[in-house]
Structure 1
């Protein structure tokens, strides 16, 4: 296989990965809190070839060496944490994040022995609801996602909301619960929603359903996701907006433009392989 076929085939593989990424972004243009993914490429290998000495001419300024590439590869797919537009809703349990943050949620998976194992995940989707406790003797409600995952509080426990109470969520995530039965009673603080700041978005792994997890082997979670508190939220603050949901930050026009460019690049590399195959066929059919 000659150089042009190697170069083109390697580049086509990287372009196919970029196409898959663009199609995923376009498919989630209306997904609440979705963050688009961006691709970074680099050369696989670059060799320096030397031209024959006969090319040396008096007054020649260009060097005899020239670069020869071997295609490009996808080196990183990173989340773009740019703020999406906010859309007002009628639900007091809808919460939008303003800033570079994520909600922390807790769910349960089953191990090999079918025992429940807690798992910590993160999401940008703030469409919450309340769910009753599994314990009939527990009158409180839990703040959960639409899929039933527990929303974690600043105390690293699921957020509880007293029954027959309406909630008011402050910009820092504090929840004030007011009794629906006694309108004269002052509101009580029911807890605070936990937020984490995304430090290294390239390390987050997508699980689908707008959920993220950390890869195995991360020694210090705070280097990737920093817990937001009063001491570190003064610079580049992360806040919440009750009664709003964040739209996807995907710009459909930009995605379609990138899609056309990638398709043209893929087509160019495909034609390069076809041309190389044609020339090799002509060379094989030459007669002395």
Structure 2
């Protein structure tokens, strides 16, 4: 196969991956707490071709001698951008928005029959029956996964509560029907020190990979903290941090690159046809 065809076809496959990332961002423009992804490219291996054996013919040349024949480009990294999104006021007691970068709510879900911890920025919470405590309600996500407190336990609320408020210290204060106020604990948050290690697992949640295999300790990548009034806002939800105008600009640019590479394949094919059609 022609070298230009190889480089173009490899690059087109990688550009398609960038297009997939952009389309995923656009599709989640209105997803609560969604963090956009951004793809970057790097060159693949290239070959140095010294096609000029006479050094005197290269006098005055401003570029390096010879030719660099590449094999295309590849996706170097698809990074998660954790900048905070805009706050959307809902005035709902069970809606909470994180206001600081790299902080996530701690969630307990079930995987293969065992409880595991996941992270999310989606603070739209609800109340559900607690299977382990018939006298209380559990704070859960829209999928029914349990929200954890600062100690790593489920957040339980009494059934006969009237209102829920968040104090300046981050305590969830529950007012009962008789006016009594109870402390339901603090929302558990995790400050992710290495956000690029996070794996997306669907449903707007993340997890850490096998840290032992990477030679890392938990303290190297995360710091569990108790949410306070500066980190969490009640009655708000965090919007997606996707900039639609930027994504559309990146989409057009990626499509142009794809088009140019496709055109180079067509041109190489036409040149091969001319060569094959030569007659002595």
Fold match (TM-score > 0.5): yes
Partner of 1:216: 210
Question: Which residue does 1:268 correspond to in 2?
Answer: 260
Deviations along 1:126-153, whole A, 9 cap, x unmatched? 0001112224x63111110011100011
Equivalent pair of 2:211/2:217 in contact (CA under 8 Å): no
Paired residue secondary structure (1:8) = helix
- Partner of 1:286: helix, strand, or coil? coil
Match of 1:245 among 237, 243, 249: 237
Are residues 1:134 and 2:131 paired? yes
Please identify, of 22-31 and 100-109, the stretch whose mean Cα deviation from structure 2 is larger: 100-109
SS at match of 1:30: coil
Give how far 1:50 is off: 1.8
Q: Structure 1 residues 194 and 206 mapped into 2: Cα distance closer, same or farther (>3 Å)?
A: same
Report what 1:170 is aligned to.
167
Contact 1:122 1:213 (C-alpha < 8 Å) held by counterparts: yes
Alignment gaps of 5+ in structure 1: 111-115
C-alpha displacement at 1:213, in angstroms?
Answer: 1.5
Alignment of 1:147 with 2:143, yes or no, is yes
Post-superposition CA distance 1:257-280 (Å, at most 9, x none): 000000000000001011111111
CA contact (8 A) 2:170 2:226 kept: no
Q: Which residue of 2 aligns with 1:84?
A: 85
Shift of 1:173: 3.4
Match of 2:37 in 1: 37
What whole-Å deviation, never above 9, does each CA across 1:129-188 have from its counterpart, x for those lacking one?
1112224x6311111001110001111111112222222123553211222x222x3x23
Give the whole-Å Cα distance in 2 for the aligned partners of 1:171 and 1:27. 35
TM-score, normalization: structure 2? 0.91
CA distance in 1, matches of 2:120, 2:13: 30
Structure 2: gaps spanning 5 or more residues: none
| Partner Cα distance (1:223, 1:282) in 2 | 60
Q: What is the CA–CA distance in structure 2 between the aligned matches of 1:97 and 1:255, rounded to whole Å?
A: 24
Residue of structure 2 in register with 1:284 after alignment? 276
From the superposition, tell whether residues 264 and 191 of structure 1 become closer, same or farther in structure 2 (CA, over 3 Å). same
Q: What is the match of residue 60 of structure 2? A: 60
Q: Is the deviation greater in 62-71 or in 4-13?
A: 62-71
Question: Which residue pairs with 2:21 in the alignment?
Answer: 21
SS at match of 1:91: coil
Q: TM-score, normalised by structure 1?
A: 0.88
Within the alignment, does 1:109 sit opposite 2:111 as a pair?
yes
Q: How many angstroms apart in 1 are the aligned matches of 2:188 and 2:205? A: 16
RMSD between aligned alpha carbons? 2.1
Which residue is 2:70 aligned to? 69
Pairing of 1:252-263 with structure 2 (within 5 A): 252-263=244-255
Q: Partner of 1:113 in structure 2? A: none
Q: CA deviation at 1:67?
A: 2.8
Give the match's secondary structure for 1:138: strand
Q: What's the offset of the Cα at 1:285?
A: 2.3
- 1:121, distance to aligned residue in structure 2 (A): 1.0
Deviations 1:55-111 (A, max 9, x none): 63485143423433221101211111111100111311100001121111001133x
1:202 equivalent in structure 2: 196
